[in-house]
């Protein structure tokens, strides 16, 4: 089973992703060599593999979560690759899932994490005889646009001639700052109103690989119950969201801070496009709701000028969403200037927090 004691954040944990990723990669690496003679290539069995992580908040409260959709391959040449769908974060609570995706992992820009490695088949040449081998495996993790070289201790077990389990022997520490995610821990803490999310994760896992061309027989690994393993449907597979799911998404998207304007201007920066695409997708799956785009500014300048600027910015976002396919009847815009600050206007960082675009929704009139 894959356990991650993550960067201890209230909601799922970025450490989780890191940990999972490197864990997966190790798994691939491990079993390639063992079956080099039996089968040239291996594929991760997502229904039999488990990857969990634990997030810690307030220094003592632990929540166990998962990344559910994982794919992986290992070639006869020893090239390993494992991909984690970060939109499949599963905390058991929709709001927590959305916070982890949009605030921590920023899946609208970085939807997946990936492990790659080159495995030396000779290191596992006696796996078929011993049936169980321990090893230290190096791998490269790509997360949040950053590559980091790591290593982990793993135990590789032959379940059958066509199945291999790769599990962590000991937790692996992954540090949030290595992947530029510390600011996102702050976003999580603010959104969930919690403190002391630890920026380090410890990861555990149990992955099962199957030789290509063989049918996965009944898996005999020490895995968690069926409800705890296997892929899950993500937002992309849903036709529509419930009203609660819609409101969860609009509330969290409002906290991303990923809509950008030129200074003192209502001209949208191209960097805003990934989040706008995400908003368009959510609105499209909330057909019974009308979304209001609200603009806010910091306190620099006159209240009148700030209100006018916030109105123009909100309208610019609304027009961009309409241009992206959102029905005009589902969108409205309003500017509130320097009203309702989310932080004191006393530092550049706090002022940046107050310069924001928020999304709210109400029932669409018939």
Give residue-wise pLDDT tens across range 32-42. 444 344 445 89
pLDDT of 40: 57
pLDDT-wise least confident of 30-39, 157-166, 258-267, 288-297: 30-39
pLDDT of 137: 84
Tell me the per-residue pLDDT of 117-158, one tens digit each, with 9 for 90 and over: 888 777 777 888 899 999 888 999 999 999 999 888 889 999
Residue 260, class by beta-carbon neighbours within 10 Å (0-12 exposed, 13-18 middle, 19+ buried)?
middle
| Residue positions counted in the chain | 366
Superfamily (CATH H level) for 238-363: OmpA-like domain (3.30.1330.60)
pLDDT of 281: 97
- Selected residue with higher pLDDT from 200 and 324: 324
State mean pLDDT over 313-333.
98
pLDDT of 256: 97
CB 48 within 8 A of CB 229: yes
Domain residue spans in the chain? 4-236, 238-363
Tell me the per-residue pLDDT of 236-245, one tens digit each, with 9 for 90 and over: 999 999 999 9
Q: Is there a common fold for 4-236 and 238-363?
A: no
Q: How many CB atoms lie within 10 A of CB 238?
A: 11
How far, in Å, CA of 254 to CA of 360, rounded?
Answer: 8
Closest CA to 240 of 287, 172, 300, 196: 287
pLDDT of 161: 85
- pLDDT over 90 (residue 51): no
How confident is residue 228, by pLDDT bands cut at 50, 70 and 90? low
Calculate the CA dihedral of residues 156, 159, 163, 166 and round it to 10 degrees: -20
Element (H, E) at 308: helix 303-323
pLDDT of 197: 83
C-alpha distances out from residue 304 to 84, 94, 107, 310, Å: 48, 39, 36, 10
How far, in Å, CA of 63 to CA of 83, rounded?
Answer: 24
Q: 4-5 and 61-67 as β-strands: parallel, antiparallel, unpaired?
A: unpaired
pLDDT-wise least confident of 107-111, 115-119, 184-188, 337-341: 115-119
pLDDT of 352: 94
**Conformation bin of residue 350: beta by default, left when phi > 0, alpha when psi is -120 to 50:** alpha
pLDDT of 227: 54
**Conformation bin of residue 39: beta by default, left when phi > 0, alpha when psi is -120 to 50:** beta
pLDDT above 70 coverage of the chain, percent: 85
How far, in Å, CA of 256 to CA of 251, rounded?
Answer: 10
Strand, helix or coil for residue 159? strand
- pLDDT over 70 (residue 217): no
How far, in Å, CA of 195 to CA of 333, rounded?
Answer: 33
pLDDT of 276: 98
Tell me the per-residue pLDDT of 244-266, one tens digit each, with 9 for 90 and over: 999 999 999 999 999 999 988 99
pLDDT above 90 coverage of the chain, percent: 56
pLDDT of 361: 96
**Distance in angstroms between the alpha carbons of the first and the last residue of the chain:** 50
Pick the CATH number of 4-236 from 2.40.128.110, 3.30.70.3290, 1.10.287.3510, 2.60.120.280: 2.40.128.110
- With vertex at residue 27, the alpha carbon angle to CA 122 and CA 121, rounded to the nearest 5 degrees, is 10
């Amino acid at each position: 089973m894959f356990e991650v004691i993550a960067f201890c954040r209230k909601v799922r944990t970025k450490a989780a992703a890191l940990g999972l990723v490197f864990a997966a990669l190790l798994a691939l690496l491990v079993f390639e060599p063992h079956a080099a003679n039996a089968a040239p290539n291996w594929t991760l069995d997502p229904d039999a593999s488990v990857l969990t992580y634990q997030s810690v908040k307030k220094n003592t409260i632990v929540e166990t979560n998962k990344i559910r959709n994982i794919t992986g391959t290992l070639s006869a040449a020893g090239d390993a690759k494992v991909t984690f769908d970060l939109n499949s974060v599963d905390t058991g609570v929709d709001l927590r899932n959305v916070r982890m995706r949009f605030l921590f992992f920023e899946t609208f820009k970085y939807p997946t994490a990936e492990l790659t490695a080159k495995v030396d088949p000779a290191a596992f040449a006696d796996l078929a005889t011993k049936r169980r081998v321990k090893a230290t495996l190096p791998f490269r993790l790509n997360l949040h646009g950053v590559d980091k070289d790591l290593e982990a201790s793993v135990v590789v077990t032959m379940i059958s001639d066509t199945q291999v389990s790769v599990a962590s022997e000991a937790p692996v520490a992954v540090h949030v700052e290595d992947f530029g995610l510390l600011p996102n821990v702050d976003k999580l803490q603010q959104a969930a109103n919690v403190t002391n999310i630890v920026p380090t994760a410890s990861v555990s896992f149990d992955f099962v690989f199957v030789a290509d061309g063989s049918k996965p027989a009944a898996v005999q690994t020490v895995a968690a119950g069926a409800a705890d393993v296997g892929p899950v449907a993500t937002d992309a597979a849903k036709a529509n969201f419930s009203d609660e799911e819609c409101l969860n998404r609009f509330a969290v998207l409002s906290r991303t801070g990923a809509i950008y304007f030129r200074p003192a201007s209502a001209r949208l920066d191209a960097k805003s496009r990934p989040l706008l695409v995400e908003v368009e997708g959510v609105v499209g799956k909330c057909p019974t709701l009308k979304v209001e785009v609200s603009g806010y500014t910091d306190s620099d300048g006159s209240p009148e000028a700030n209100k006018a600027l916030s109105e123009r910015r909100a309208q610019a976002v609304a027009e961009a969403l309409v241009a992206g396919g959102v029905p005009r009847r589902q969108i409205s815009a309003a500017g509130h200037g320097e009203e309702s600050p989310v932080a004191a206007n006393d530092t550049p960082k706090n002022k940046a927090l107050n310069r924001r675009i928020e999304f709210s929704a109400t029932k669409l009139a018939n």
